[in-house]
Amino acid sequence: MSWSGGPHGAPEPGAVGLAARVRAGEVRAADVAEETLERVGRRDGELHCFNVVTADAMRSAAAAVDRLVASGADPGPLAGVPVAVKDNLCTRGVPTTCSSKMLEHWVPPYDATVVTRLVAAGALVVGKTNLDEFAMGSSTENSAFGPTRNPWDTSRVPGGSSGGSAAAVAADLAPLALGSDTGGSIRQPAALCGVVGIKPTYGLVSRYGLVAFASSLDQVGPFAATVADAALVLEVIAGHDEMDSTSLDRPVEGLLDATGSGAGGLRVGVVADFLADASADCASAVRAAAEVLAGAGAAVEEVALPELLHGLSAYYLIAPAEASSNLARYDGVRYGLRVDGDDVEQMNARTRAAGFGPEVRRRIMLGTYVLSAGYYDAYYAQAQRVRTLVARTFARAYERFDVLLAPTTPSVAFPLGAKTADPLEMYLADLFTIPSNLAGHPAMSVPFALDPQGLPVGVQVLAPALGEVAMLRAAGVLEAGAAPGARGPVASRSEAGR
Protein backbone atom coordinates (compact mmCIF):
# COMPACT_ATOMS: atom_id res chain seq x y z
CA MET A 1 0.00 0.00 0.00
CA SER A 2 1.25 3.43 -0.86
CA TRP A 3 0.53 6.65 0.96
CA SER A 4 0.61 10.26 0.12
CA GLY A 5 0.77 13.20 2.42
CA GLY A 6 1.18 16.94 2.63
CA PRO A 7 4.80 18.16 2.63
CA HIS A 8 4.39 19.69 6.07
CA GLY A 9 2.70 16.58 7.48
CA ALA A 10 -0.18 18.72 8.69
CA PRO A 11 -3.56 17.08 9.01
CA GLU A 12 -5.70 17.79 5.99
CA PRO A 13 -8.62 19.90 7.00
CA GLY A 14 -11.05 18.89 4.26
CA ALA A 15 -12.37 21.26 1.66
CA VAL A 16 -14.92 22.92 3.93
CA GLY A 17 -12.22 23.67 6.50
CA LEU A 18 -9.62 24.63 3.96
CA ALA A 19 -11.93 27.12 2.25
CA ALA A 20 -12.77 28.64 5.61
CA ARG A 21 -9.08 29.09 6.44
CA VAL A 22 -8.31 30.59 3.04
CA ARG A 23 -11.22 33.00 3.38
CA ALA A 24 -10.06 33.93 6.87
CA GLY A 25 -6.59 34.65 5.52
CA GLU A 26 -5.00 31.92 7.67
CA VAL A 27 -3.86 29.95 4.65
CA ARG A 28 -2.75 31.39 1.32
CA ALA A 29 -4.29 29.85 -1.77
CA ALA A 30 -0.90 30.22 -3.44
CA ASP A 31 0.64 27.91 -0.84
CA VAL A 32 -2.18 25.41 -1.27
CA ALA A 33 -1.52 25.42 -5.01
CA GLU A 34 2.22 24.85 -4.58
CA GLU A 35 1.72 22.01 -2.08
CA THR A 36 -0.82 20.39 -4.36
CA LEU A 37 1.39 20.67 -7.43
CA GLU A 38 4.29 19.26 -5.47
CA ARG A 39 2.25 16.19 -4.41
CA VAL A 40 0.95 15.70 -7.93
CA GLY A 41 4.48 15.94 -9.28
CA ARG A 42 5.65 13.35 -6.79
CA ARG A 43 2.84 10.83 -7.14
CA ASP A 44 1.17 11.14 -10.49
CA GLY A 45 3.91 9.55 -12.53
CA GLU A 46 2.99 6.29 -10.87
CA LEU A 47 -0.76 6.73 -10.50
CA HIS A 48 -1.60 8.57 -13.75
CA CYS A 49 -4.61 10.33 -12.32
CA PHE A 50 -4.09 13.30 -14.64
CA ASN A 51 -3.98 13.62 -18.42
CA VAL A 52 -2.83 17.19 -18.00
CA VAL A 53 -1.89 19.34 -15.00
CA THR A 54 -2.68 23.02 -15.45
CA ALA A 55 -0.04 24.35 -13.10
CA ASP A 56 0.16 27.89 -14.47
CA ALA A 57 -3.58 28.40 -14.53
CA MET A 58 -3.83 26.99 -11.03
CA ARG A 59 -1.19 29.40 -9.75
CA SER A 60 -2.87 32.40 -11.30
CA ALA A 61 -6.26 31.31 -9.98
CA ALA A 62 -4.72 31.01 -6.52
CA ALA A 63 -3.17 34.45 -6.79
CA ALA A 64 -6.56 35.85 -7.77
CA VAL A 65 -8.17 34.27 -4.72
CA ASP A 66 -5.46 35.68 -2.46
CA ARG A 67 -5.97 39.14 -3.95
CA LEU A 68 -9.70 38.93 -3.27
CA VAL A 69 -9.05 37.87 0.32
CA ALA A 70 -6.57 40.72 0.77
CA SER A 71 -9.05 43.22 -0.62
CA GLY A 72 -11.75 42.02 1.73
CA ALA A 73 -13.95 40.66 -1.06
CA ASP A 74 -15.63 37.25 -0.86
CA PRO A 75 -13.60 34.71 -2.84
CA GLY A 76 -16.41 32.13 -2.72
CA PRO A 77 -17.30 28.99 -0.78
CA LEU A 78 -14.51 26.92 -2.34
CA ALA A 79 -11.83 29.60 -2.03
CA GLY A 80 -8.41 28.13 -2.60
CA VAL A 81 -9.58 24.52 -2.70
CA PRO A 82 -7.93 22.42 -5.41
CA VAL A 83 -10.26 20.43 -7.63
CA ALA A 84 -9.47 17.82 -10.25
CA VAL A 85 -11.73 17.83 -13.29
CA LYS A 86 -12.58 14.74 -15.32
CA ASP A 87 -11.20 15.07 -18.83
CA ASN A 88 -14.63 14.85 -20.46
CA LEU A 89 -15.61 18.27 -19.06
CA CYS A 90 -14.78 21.14 -21.38
CA THR A 91 -12.15 23.58 -20.18
CA ARG A 92 -11.52 26.66 -22.26
CA GLY A 93 -8.00 26.70 -23.63
CA VAL A 94 -7.11 23.37 -22.00
CA PRO A 95 -7.19 20.10 -23.97
CA THR A 96 -10.28 18.02 -23.29
CA THR A 97 -9.45 14.59 -24.59
CA CYS A 98 -12.01 12.16 -23.13
CA SER A 99 -8.88 9.96 -22.95
CA SER A 100 -9.36 9.29 -26.65
CA LYS A 101 -6.98 9.61 -29.56
CA MET A 102 -9.92 11.18 -31.34
CA LEU A 103 -9.73 14.31 -29.18
CA GLU A 104 -6.08 14.10 -28.10
CA HIS A 105 -5.32 17.59 -29.36
CA TRP A 106 -8.75 19.19 -29.17
CA VAL A 107 -8.91 22.40 -27.16
CA PRO A 108 -12.44 23.63 -26.38
CA PRO A 109 -13.25 27.30 -26.83
CA TYR A 110 -15.55 27.21 -23.83
CA ASP A 111 -15.89 26.02 -20.23
CA ALA A 112 -18.46 23.52 -19.04
CA THR A 113 -21.03 25.19 -16.78
CA VAL A 114 -19.82 23.17 -13.79
CA VAL A 115 -16.26 24.39 -14.36
CA THR A 116 -17.45 27.98 -14.59
CA ARG A 117 -19.32 27.57 -11.31
CA LEU A 118 -16.38 25.96 -9.52
CA VAL A 119 -14.01 28.69 -10.64
CA ALA A 120 -16.52 31.38 -9.67
CA ALA A 121 -16.66 29.75 -6.21
CA GLY A 122 -12.90 30.19 -5.84
CA ALA A 123 -11.82 26.61 -6.57
CA LEU A 124 -8.40 25.98 -8.13
CA VAL A 125 -8.47 23.57 -11.08
CA VAL A 126 -5.48 21.23 -10.79
CA GLY A 127 -5.88 19.54 -14.15
CA LYS A 128 -7.85 17.06 -16.17
CA THR A 129 -8.22 13.51 -14.93
CA ASN A 130 -7.97 10.23 -16.75
CA LEU A 131 -11.03 8.17 -17.67
CA ASP A 132 -12.16 5.24 -19.70
CA GLU A 133 -12.33 6.53 -23.27
CA PHE A 134 -15.48 8.64 -23.63
CA ALA A 135 -16.48 7.42 -20.13
CA MET A 136 -17.10 3.90 -21.41
CA GLY A 137 -15.73 1.44 -18.91
CA SER A 138 -15.45 0.52 -15.25
CA SER A 139 -11.71 0.41 -14.66
CA THR A 140 -10.08 3.36 -16.49
CA GLU A 141 -8.17 0.75 -18.46
CA ASN A 142 -9.97 1.89 -21.62
CA SER A 143 -8.04 5.17 -21.61
CA ALA A 144 -6.04 5.67 -24.79
CA PHE A 145 -3.31 7.16 -22.60
CA GLY A 146 -2.83 4.25 -20.20
CA PRO A 147 -4.67 3.20 -17.04
CA THR A 148 -4.89 4.97 -13.72
CA ARG A 149 -3.73 2.96 -10.72
CA ASN A 150 -5.56 2.59 -7.42
CA PRO A 151 -3.68 4.46 -4.66
CA TRP A 152 -4.64 1.76 -2.17
CA ASP A 153 -2.88 -0.89 -4.23
CA THR A 154 -1.25 0.20 -7.43
CA SER A 155 -1.64 -3.25 -8.96
CA ARG A 156 -5.38 -2.69 -8.90
CA VAL A 157 -7.77 -0.58 -10.92
CA PRO A 158 -9.36 2.53 -9.42
CA GLY A 159 -12.70 1.70 -11.07
CA GLY A 160 -14.16 3.80 -13.81
CA SER A 161 -14.93 5.55 -15.81
CA SER A 162 -13.99 8.47 -13.50
CA GLY A 163 -11.00 6.55 -12.17
CA GLY A 164 -8.58 9.47 -12.43
CA SER A 165 -10.80 11.71 -10.33
CA ALA A 166 -11.47 9.05 -7.68
CA ALA A 167 -7.81 8.14 -7.41
CA ALA A 168 -6.74 11.79 -7.26
CA VAL A 169 -8.94 12.34 -4.21
CA ALA A 170 -7.92 9.03 -2.64
CA ALA A 171 -4.24 9.93 -3.05
CA ASP A 172 -4.90 13.48 -1.83
CA LEU A 173 -3.69 14.97 -5.07
CA ALA A 174 -6.80 17.11 -4.73
CA PRO A 175 -9.38 17.17 -1.95
CA LEU A 176 -12.16 17.51 -4.51
CA ALA A 177 -12.84 16.22 -7.99
CA LEU A 178 -15.58 16.21 -10.59
CA GLY A 179 -16.67 13.12 -12.41
CA SER A 180 -19.56 12.03 -14.56
CA ASP A 181 -21.85 9.12 -13.90
CA THR A 182 -23.78 7.42 -16.71
CA GLY A 183 -24.14 3.97 -15.19
CA GLY A 184 -22.03 4.24 -12.05
CA SER A 185 -18.94 6.06 -13.26
CA ILE A 186 -18.73 8.19 -10.10
CA ARG A 187 -20.01 5.78 -7.45
CA GLN A 188 -18.13 2.66 -8.55
CA PRO A 189 -14.64 4.26 -8.58
CA ALA A 190 -15.51 6.12 -5.37
CA ALA A 191 -16.22 2.78 -3.72
CA LEU A 192 -13.06 1.19 -5.11
CA CYS A 193 -10.92 4.15 -4.00
CA GLY A 194 -12.47 4.69 -0.57
CA VAL A 195 -13.84 8.15 -1.25
CA VAL A 196 -17.27 9.77 -1.37
CA GLY A 197 -18.95 10.06 -4.78
CA ILE A 198 -22.35 11.51 -5.60
CA LYS A 199 -24.48 10.98 -8.72
CA PRO A 200 -27.07 13.76 -8.38
CA THR A 201 -30.67 13.74 -9.58
CA TYR A 202 -30.76 13.91 -13.39
CA GLY A 203 -31.08 17.58 -14.27
CA LEU A 204 -29.84 18.91 -10.94
CA VAL A 205 -26.41 19.67 -12.39
CA SER A 206 -25.92 21.16 -15.85
CA ARG A 207 -24.52 18.89 -18.54
CA TYR A 208 -23.47 21.82 -20.71
CA GLY A 209 -19.85 21.18 -21.56
CA LEU A 210 -19.89 17.55 -20.48
CA VAL A 211 -18.89 15.59 -23.57
CA ALA A 212 -21.92 13.39 -24.08
CA PHE A 213 -21.80 9.62 -23.72
CA ALA A 214 -25.49 8.79 -23.15
CA SER A 215 -27.39 12.02 -22.78
CA SER A 216 -30.44 10.70 -20.95
CA LEU A 217 -28.24 9.07 -18.31
CA ASP A 218 -25.16 11.31 -17.95
CA GLN A 219 -24.87 13.44 -14.85
CA VAL A 220 -21.95 15.37 -13.38
CA GLY A 221 -21.13 14.97 -9.70
CA PRO A 222 -18.46 15.38 -7.04
CA PHE A 223 -15.81 13.24 -5.42
CA ALA A 224 -14.48 14.19 -2.01
CA ALA A 225 -12.84 12.64 1.01
CA THR A 226 -15.82 13.54 3.18
CA VAL A 227 -19.58 13.64 2.80
CA ALA A 228 -19.67 17.30 3.81
CA ASP A 229 -17.09 18.25 1.17
CA ALA A 230 -19.03 16.42 -1.50
CA ALA A 231 -22.25 18.15 -0.41
CA LEU A 232 -20.53 21.53 -0.55
CA VAL A 233 -19.35 20.93 -4.13
CA LEU A 234 -22.84 19.79 -5.09
CA GLU A 235 -24.30 23.01 -3.66
CA VAL A 236 -21.88 24.98 -5.81
CA ILE A 237 -22.42 23.15 -9.11
CA ALA A 238 -26.15 22.39 -8.85
CA GLY A 239 -28.89 24.64 -10.08
CA HIS A 240 -30.64 25.67 -13.24
CA ASP A 241 -28.61 26.37 -16.38
CA GLU A 242 -30.38 27.86 -19.36
CA MET A 243 -27.82 26.20 -21.64
CA ASP A 244 -29.14 22.73 -20.71
CA SER A 245 -32.79 22.08 -21.60
CA THR A 246 -32.93 19.13 -19.22
CA SER A 247 -31.67 21.22 -16.31
CA LEU A 248 -34.19 21.45 -13.49
CA ASP A 249 -35.37 24.83 -12.35
CA ARG A 250 -35.46 24.07 -8.62
CA PRO A 251 -33.61 25.76 -5.79
CA VAL A 252 -30.94 23.58 -4.17
CA GLU A 253 -30.75 24.18 -0.47
CA GLY A 254 -29.60 22.59 2.73
CA LEU A 255 -27.29 19.95 1.28
CA LEU A 256 -24.31 20.73 3.48
CA ASP A 257 -26.53 21.09 6.56
CA ALA A 258 -28.15 17.72 5.84
CA THR A 259 -24.84 15.90 6.22
CA GLY A 260 -24.80 16.61 9.94
CA SER A 261 -28.46 16.39 10.79
CA GLY A 262 -28.63 12.67 11.64
CA ALA A 263 -30.82 9.83 10.47
CA GLY A 264 -33.51 9.99 13.16
CA GLY A 265 -36.88 8.95 11.75
CA LEU A 266 -35.44 8.18 8.33
CA ARG A 267 -37.09 5.17 6.69
CA VAL A 268 -34.38 3.00 5.12
CA GLY A 269 -34.93 0.03 2.82
CA VAL A 270 -32.08 -2.43 2.33
CA VAL A 271 -32.17 -3.80 -1.21
CA ALA A 272 -32.09 -7.53 -0.49
CA ASP A 273 -31.69 -8.56 -4.13
CA PHE A 274 -28.40 -6.72 -4.44
CA LEU A 275 -26.94 -8.39 -1.35
CA ALA A 276 -27.28 -11.79 -2.97
CA ASP A 277 -25.27 -10.67 -6.00
CA ALA A 278 -22.50 -8.95 -4.01
CA SER A 279 -19.35 -10.43 -2.56
CA ALA A 280 -19.53 -11.45 1.10
CA ASP A 281 -17.47 -8.41 2.12
CA CYS A 282 -19.63 -5.97 0.17
CA ALA A 283 -22.84 -7.55 1.47
CA SER A 284 -21.69 -7.58 5.09
CA ALA A 285 -20.67 -3.93 4.81
CA VAL A 286 -24.27 -3.11 3.84
CA ARG A 287 -25.63 -5.09 6.79
CA ALA A 288 -23.28 -3.26 9.14
CA ALA A 289 -24.30 0.04 7.59
CA ALA A 290 -27.95 -0.85 8.18
CA GLU A 291 -27.18 -1.37 11.83
CA VAL A 292 -25.42 1.98 12.07
CA LEU A 293 -28.46 3.72 10.61
CA ALA A 294 -30.82 1.80 12.90
CA GLY A 295 -28.66 2.78 15.82
CA ALA A 296 -29.00 6.41 14.76
CA GLY A 297 -32.77 6.20 14.93
CA ALA A 298 -33.65 5.17 11.39
CA ALA A 299 -36.34 2.58 10.70
CA VAL A 300 -34.50 -0.06 8.69
CA GLU A 301 -36.12 -2.90 6.78
CA GLU A 302 -35.13 -5.26 3.97
CA VAL A 303 -37.04 -4.88 0.72
CA ALA A 304 -37.19 -7.13 -2.34
CA LEU A 305 -36.80 -5.21 -5.60
CA PRO A 306 -35.74 -7.90 -8.07
CA GLU A 307 -36.85 -5.84 -11.09
CA LEU A 308 -33.92 -3.48 -10.52
CA LEU A 309 -31.53 -6.20 -11.67
CA HIS A 310 -33.08 -6.00 -15.16
CA GLY A 311 -31.66 -2.50 -15.40
CA LEU A 312 -28.25 -3.73 -16.55
CA SER A 313 -29.44 -5.22 -19.83
CA ALA A 314 -31.68 -2.22 -20.57
CA TYR A 315 -28.74 0.08 -19.86
CA TYR A 316 -26.47 -1.75 -22.28
CA LEU A 317 -29.00 -1.12 -25.05
CA ILE A 318 -30.00 2.48 -24.26
CA ALA A 319 -26.55 3.84 -23.45
CA PRO A 320 -24.86 2.46 -26.60
CA ALA A 321 -27.82 3.63 -28.71
CA GLU A 322 -27.40 7.20 -27.52
CA ALA A 323 -23.62 6.91 -27.70
CA SER A 324 -23.74 5.78 -31.33
CA SER A 325 -25.49 9.05 -32.14
CA ASN A 326 -23.52 11.29 -29.76
CA LEU A 327 -20.19 10.05 -31.10
CA ALA A 328 -21.16 10.34 -34.76
CA ARG A 329 -19.78 13.89 -34.86
CA TYR A 330 -16.21 12.62 -34.58
CA ASP A 331 -15.92 12.27 -38.33
CA GLY A 332 -12.66 14.09 -39.07
CA VAL A 333 -14.39 17.03 -40.73
CA ARG A 334 -14.34 19.84 -38.19
CA TYR A 335 -12.04 19.03 -35.26
CA GLY A 336 -10.10 16.27 -33.60
CA LEU A 337 -8.30 13.51 -35.43
CA ARG A 338 -8.48 13.27 -39.22
CA VAL A 339 -7.09 10.43 -41.27
CA ASP A 340 -7.41 11.34 -44.93
CA GLY A 341 -9.00 9.10 -47.53
CA ASP A 342 -9.91 9.11 -51.19
CA ASP A 343 -13.38 10.44 -50.49
CA VAL A 344 -15.36 11.67 -47.56
CA GLU A 345 -16.73 8.25 -46.58
CA GLN A 346 -13.26 6.74 -46.53
CA MET A 347 -11.95 9.70 -44.53
CA ASN A 348 -14.80 9.25 -42.01
CA ALA A 349 -14.20 5.52 -41.72
CA ARG A 350 -10.42 5.74 -41.40
CA THR A 351 -10.66 8.53 -38.85
CA ARG A 352 -13.09 6.62 -36.69
CA ALA A 353 -11.16 3.36 -36.95
CA ALA A 354 -7.98 5.11 -35.87
CA GLY A 355 -9.50 7.44 -33.29
CA PHE A 356 -11.73 5.12 -31.26
CA GLY A 357 -10.54 2.29 -29.03
CA PRO A 358 -12.11 -1.18 -29.05
CA GLU A 359 -14.69 -0.61 -26.30
CA VAL A 360 -15.95 2.60 -27.89
CA ARG A 361 -16.18 0.88 -31.27
CA ARG A 362 -18.01 -2.04 -29.68
CA ARG A 363 -20.61 0.25 -28.13
CA ILE A 364 -21.08 2.31 -31.29
CA MET A 365 -21.71 -0.87 -33.26
CA LEU A 366 -24.06 -2.21 -30.61
CA GLY A 367 -25.95 1.08 -30.44
CA THR A 368 -26.19 1.38 -34.21
CA TYR A 369 -27.62 -2.12 -34.38
CA VAL A 370 -30.09 -1.45 -31.57
CA LEU A 371 -31.57 1.54 -33.41
CA SER A 372 -31.67 -0.10 -36.85
CA ALA A 373 -34.90 -0.46 -38.77
CA GLY A 374 -36.41 -3.80 -37.87
CA TYR A 375 -34.59 -4.08 -34.55
CA TYR A 376 -35.67 -0.87 -32.85
CA ASP A 377 -38.79 -2.33 -31.25
CA ALA A 378 -37.15 -5.51 -30.09
CA TYR A 379 -34.20 -3.72 -28.50
CA TYR A 380 -34.42 0.03 -27.98
CA ALA A 381 -38.17 0.21 -27.39
CA GLN A 382 -38.09 -2.87 -25.18
CA ALA A 383 -35.21 -1.39 -23.18
CA GLN A 384 -37.26 1.78 -22.65
CA ARG A 385 -40.07 -0.36 -21.28
CA VAL A 386 -37.65 -1.96 -18.84
CA ARG A 387 -36.47 1.52 -17.92
CA THR A 388 -40.06 2.41 -17.06
CA LEU A 389 -40.32 -0.80 -15.05
CA VAL A 390 -37.24 0.18 -13.04
CA ALA A 391 -38.68 3.63 -12.37
CA ARG A 392 -42.00 2.11 -11.24
CA THR A 393 -40.20 -0.34 -8.98
CA PHE A 394 -38.36 2.53 -7.33
CA ALA A 395 -41.57 4.55 -7.05
CA ARG A 396 -43.23 1.68 -5.22
CA ALA A 397 -40.28 1.37 -2.87
CA TYR A 398 -40.23 5.10 -2.15
CA GLU A 399 -43.81 4.97 -0.97
CA ARG A 400 -42.41 3.14 2.05
CA PHE A 401 -38.85 4.42 2.30
CA ASP A 402 -37.01 7.71 2.26
CA VAL A 403 -33.77 6.13 1.06
CA LEU A 404 -32.51 2.73 -0.01
CA LEU A 405 -29.27 1.14 1.13
CA ALA A 406 -27.30 -1.18 -1.15
CA PRO A 407 -23.78 -2.21 -2.04
CA THR A 408 -22.16 0.15 -4.52
CA THR A 409 -20.23 -2.61 -6.27
CA PRO A 410 -20.30 -6.40 -6.39
CA SER A 411 -16.63 -6.52 -5.31
CA VAL A 412 -13.67 -4.45 -4.19
CA ALA A 413 -11.01 -3.11 -6.55
CA PHE A 414 -9.82 -5.82 -8.91
CA PRO A 415 -6.33 -6.24 -10.37
CA LEU A 416 -5.41 -4.45 -13.58
CA GLY A 417 -6.16 -6.67 -16.55
CA ALA A 418 -8.47 -8.99 -14.60
CA LYS A 419 -11.57 -8.16 -16.62
CA THR A 420 -10.30 -6.60 -19.82
CA ALA A 421 -10.68 -9.85 -21.77
CA ASP A 422 -14.37 -10.17 -20.97
CA PRO A 423 -16.51 -7.09 -21.57
CA LEU A 424 -19.60 -8.68 -20.00
CA GLU A 425 -17.74 -9.38 -16.77
CA MET A 426 -16.67 -5.73 -16.74
CA TYR A 427 -20.26 -4.57 -17.39
CA LEU A 428 -21.41 -6.38 -14.24
CA ALA A 429 -19.36 -3.94 -12.14
CA ASP A 430 -22.22 -1.47 -12.67
CA LEU A 431 -25.05 -3.83 -11.75
CA PHE A 432 -26.04 -1.95 -8.57
CA THR A 433 -25.43 1.57 -9.80
CA ILE A 434 -27.24 1.48 -13.14
CA PRO A 435 -30.85 1.51 -11.87
CA SER A 436 -30.48 5.01 -10.41
CA ASN A 437 -29.28 6.34 -13.78
CA LEU A 438 -32.19 4.72 -15.57
CA ALA A 439 -34.61 6.34 -13.12
CA GLY A 440 -32.78 9.68 -13.01
CA HIS A 441 -32.45 9.39 -9.24
CA PRO A 442 -29.61 10.51 -6.96
CA ALA A 443 -27.33 7.95 -5.37
CA MET A 444 -23.97 8.10 -3.66
CA SER A 445 -21.23 5.87 -2.44
CA VAL A 446 -19.86 6.28 1.08
CA PRO A 447 -16.63 4.55 2.15
CA PHE A 448 -17.66 2.30 5.00
CA ALA A 449 -15.45 -0.74 5.57
CA LEU A 450 -12.20 -2.46 4.72
CA ASP A 451 -12.02 -5.96 3.39
CA PRO A 452 -9.55 -8.48 4.84
CA GLN A 453 -6.93 -7.29 2.32
CA GLY A 454 -7.32 -3.73 3.55
CA LEU A 455 -9.17 -2.57 0.44
CA PRO A 456 -12.01 -0.09 0.85
CA VAL A 457 -15.64 -1.14 0.59
CA GLY A 458 -18.32 1.42 -0.23
CA VAL A 459 -22.00 1.34 0.54
CA GLN A 460 -24.55 3.04 -1.62
CA VAL A 461 -27.39 5.30 -0.53
CA LEU A 462 -30.15 5.74 -3.09
CA ALA A 463 -32.93 8.29 -2.98
CA PRO A 464 -35.87 9.36 -5.15
CA ALA A 465 -35.57 12.31 -7.54
CA LEU A 466 -34.48 15.43 -5.64
CA GLY A 467 -34.11 13.34 -2.49
CA GLU A 468 -30.54 14.58 -1.95
CA VAL A 469 -31.24 15.90 1.54
CA ALA A 470 -32.42 12.52 2.90
CA MET A 471 -29.58 10.81 1.04
CA LEU A 472 -26.97 13.11 2.60
CA ARG A 473 -28.47 12.71 6.08
CA ALA A 474 -27.99 8.94 5.83
CA ALA A 475 -24.54 9.36 4.29
CA GLY A 476 -23.40 11.64 7.12
CA VAL A 477 -24.39 9.02 9.69
CA LEU A 478 -22.71 6.22 7.74
CA GLU A 479 -19.50 8.21 7.47
CA ALA A 480 -19.43 8.73 11.22
CA GLY A 481 -20.04 5.04 11.77
CA ALA A 482 -17.58 3.77 9.18
CA ALA A 483 -14.77 1.40 10.04
CA PRO A 484 -11.56 3.22 11.01
CA GLY A 485 -9.38 3.78 7.99
CA ALA A 486 -12.14 2.96 5.50
CA ARG A 487 -11.98 6.29 3.79
CA GLY A 488 -9.18 7.95 1.93
CA PRO A 489 -5.56 6.94 2.72
CA VAL A 490 -4.71 10.38 4.01
CA ALA A 491 -7.70 10.62 6.29
CA SER A 492 -7.07 7.16 7.63
CA ARG A 493 -3.52 8.03 8.52
CA SER A 494 -4.45 11.29 10.20
CA GLU A 495 -7.21 9.55 12.14
CA ALA A 496 -4.83 6.82 13.17
CA GLY A 497 -2.48 9.49 14.44
CA ARG A 498 -5.09 11.04 16.73
Partner 1 sequence: MSTGPAPAGAGRASADFEVVVGLEVHCELSTATKLFCGCPNRFGSEPNTQVCPVCLGLPGALPVLNRRAVELAVRVGRALHCEIRPSTFHRKNYFYPDMPKDFQISQYDEPIDVDGYLELPSGRRIGIERAHIEEDTGKTTHLGGGGRIHGADRSLVDYNRAGVPLVEIVSRPDMRSADEARAYVAELRAILVASGASDGRMEEGSLRVDANVSVRRTGSDAFGTRCEVKNLNSLRSLGRAIEHEQARQVALLEAGERVVQETRHWNEDEGRTSSMRSKEEANDYRYFPEPDLVPLAPDGAFVAAATAGLGLMPAERRARLATTVHGPDAAVAASTLDQITTVVDLGLDDLVVEVVERGADARLALARAANEAAQSPEDARRLDPGAFCRLLELEAGGSLSSTQAKSVLAEMLAAGGEPDAIARRLGYEALGSEALESAIDAVVAAHPDAWARYAAGEDKVAQLLTGQVMKATKGRANGKAVAAALAARRG
Q: How far is the CB of 473 from partner 1 (least distance, A)?
A: 30
Amino acid found at 316: Y
Smaller CB separation from partner 1, 181 or 322: 322
Smaller CB separation from partner 1, 159 or 320: 320
348 binds partner 1 (CB under 8 A): yes
235 binds partner 1 (CB under 8 A): no
* 189 and 140 Cβ atoms separated by less than 8 Å: yes
Please report which helix (H) or strand (E) contains residue 38, including its range.
helix 29-47
- Annotation says 155 is catalytic: no
Smaller CB separation from partner 1, 103 or 461: 103
138 binds partner 1 (CB under 8 A): no
Q: How far apart are CA 317 and CA 100, in angstroms?
A: 22
208 binds partner 1 (CB under 8 A): yes
Peptide bond before residue 161 is cis, with ω within 30 degrees of 0? yes
Q: How far is the CB of 333 from partner 1 (least distance, A)?
A: 5
Beta bridge partners of 433: none
Amino acid found at 343: D
Smaller CB separation from partner 1, 386 or 405: 386
* 300 and 332 Cβ atoms separated by less than 8 Å: no
Q: Helices in 327-357 by DSSP H: which ranges?
A: 344-355
Smaller CB separation from partner 1, 213 or 394: 213
* 118 and 237 Cβ atoms separated by less than 8 Å: yes
216 binds partner 1 (CB under 8 A): yes
The secondary structure of 472-490 as a DSSP string is HHHHHHHHHTSPTT-STHH
460 binds partner 1 (CB under 8 A): no
Q: How far apart are CA 252 and CA 235, in angstroms?
A: 7
Q: Give the interface segment with partner 1, choosing from 21-29, 43-51, 168-176, 324-332 (CB under 8 A).
A: 324-332
Q: Which of 143, 161, 411, 492 is catalytic?
A: 161
Amino acid found at 365: M
C-alpha torsion angle, residues 256, 261, 264, 265 (rounded to 10): -50
335 binds partner 1 (CB under 8 A): yes
Strand pairing report for 267-271 and 299-303: parallel
Q: Which of 86, 128, 199, 419 is catalytic?
A: 86
Q: How many CB atoms lie within 10 A of CB 186?
A: 35
Q: How far is the CB of 219 from partner 1 (least distance, A)?
A: 12
Category of 137 on φ-ψ map: left (φ > 0), alpha (ψ -120 to 50) or beta = left
245 binds partner 1 (CB under 8 A): yes
The count of residues in the chain is 498
Ramachandran angles phi, psi of 419, nearest 5°: -120, 5
Q: Calculate Rg over the CA atoms of the chain.
A: 21
Residues sharing a CB contact under 8 Å with residue 375, sequence separation 6 or more, in sequence order: 369
- Mask of contacts with partner 1, 365-384, x by CB under 8 A? ---x--xxx--x---x----
Q: How far is the CB of 217 from partner 1 (least distance, A)?
A: 8
Q: Give the interface segment with partner 1, choosing from 212-220, 273-281, 353-361, 412-420 (CB under 8 A).
A: 212-220
Between the alpha carbon of residue 335 and those of residues 108, 128, 290, the distances in Å are 10, 20, 50
324 binds partner 1 (CB under 8 A): yes
Q: How far apart are CA 293 and CA 491, in angstroms?
A: 22
Q: Give 377's DSSP letter.
A: I
Smaller CB separation from partner 1, 215 or 284: 215
Q: How far is the CB of 448 from partner 1 (least distance, A)?
A: 34
Beta bridge partners of 205: 238
333 binds partner 1 (CB under 8 A): yes
Q: Give 379's DSSP letter.
A: I
Ramachandran angles phi, psi of 359, nearest 5°: -70, -40
- Mask of contacts with partner 1, 169-198, x by CB under 8 A? ------------------------------
- Annotation says 71 is catalytic: no
Smaller CB separation from partner 1, 300 or 321: 321
Q: How far is the CB of 364 from partner 1 (least distance, A)?
A: 11
Site for partner 1 in 253-292 (CB under 8 A): none
* 334 and 291 Cβ atoms separated by less than 8 Å: no
- Annotation says 185 is catalytic: yes
Q: Give the interface segment with partner 1, choosing from 67-75, 316-324, 409-417, 436-444 (CB under 8 A).
A: 316-324
- Mask of contacts with partner 1, 96-135, x by CB under 8 A? x-x----x--x-xxx-x-----------------------
Q: Which of 4, 185, 206, 492 is catalytic?
A: 185
Smaller CB separation from partner 1, 96 or 409: 96
Q: Which residues are catalytic?
A: 86, 161, 185
Summarize as ranges the residues that interact with partner 1 (CB under 8 A).
88-90, 96, 98, 103, 106, 108-110, 112, 207-212, 214-216, 242-246, 321-322, 324-325, 328-329, 331, 333-335, 343-345, 348, 368, 371-373, 376, 380
